[in-house]
Amino acid sequence: QCSLTSITGSATLTLTEPYEEITANTVTGDVVIEAPVDVCDAVLRSVSGRIRTSGVSIVEGAARVRVNTVSGELDMTCTPAEE
C-alpha cells in the first residue's frame, strides 16, 4: 500500500512491482503514477486539473487507485508487468 498527502508539493510514484492500493490527496500538487499493471480499480477526481491515463483498463476488484486533487494534474501510465 502506498499513500501520500500534499498541499502544494508534486509527487511521482514509480512502482517496480504490482501493488494492492495507492491513495493520493493533493490540493494543487501534481501526481504522476507509473505502475507495472494493465488493469486497476481506479477513482480519479480533479476539480480543475487535467487527468491523463495511458495503458490502463479500469476493472472493478483489481488493485485500487484513489486520487483526489483540487487543481493538481494527474498522469497515470501503466505497462504490464514483465514475466
Q: What is the mean pLDDT of residues 7-17?
A: 90
Are 51 and 73 in contact, with CB atoms under 8 Å apart?
Answer: yes
pLDDT at 81 over 80: no
Signed CA dihedral, 50, 69, 32, 83: sign only: negative
Q: What is the pLDDT of residue 12?
A: 92
pLDDT in tens, 31-46: 999 999 889 999 999 9
pTM, two decimal places: 0.85
pLDDT at 1 over 90: no
In order of 14, 28, 64, the CA distances from 78 in angstroms are: 10, 23, 13
pLDDT at 18 over 90: no
Are 78 and 37 in contact, with CB atoms under 8 Å apart?
Answer: yes
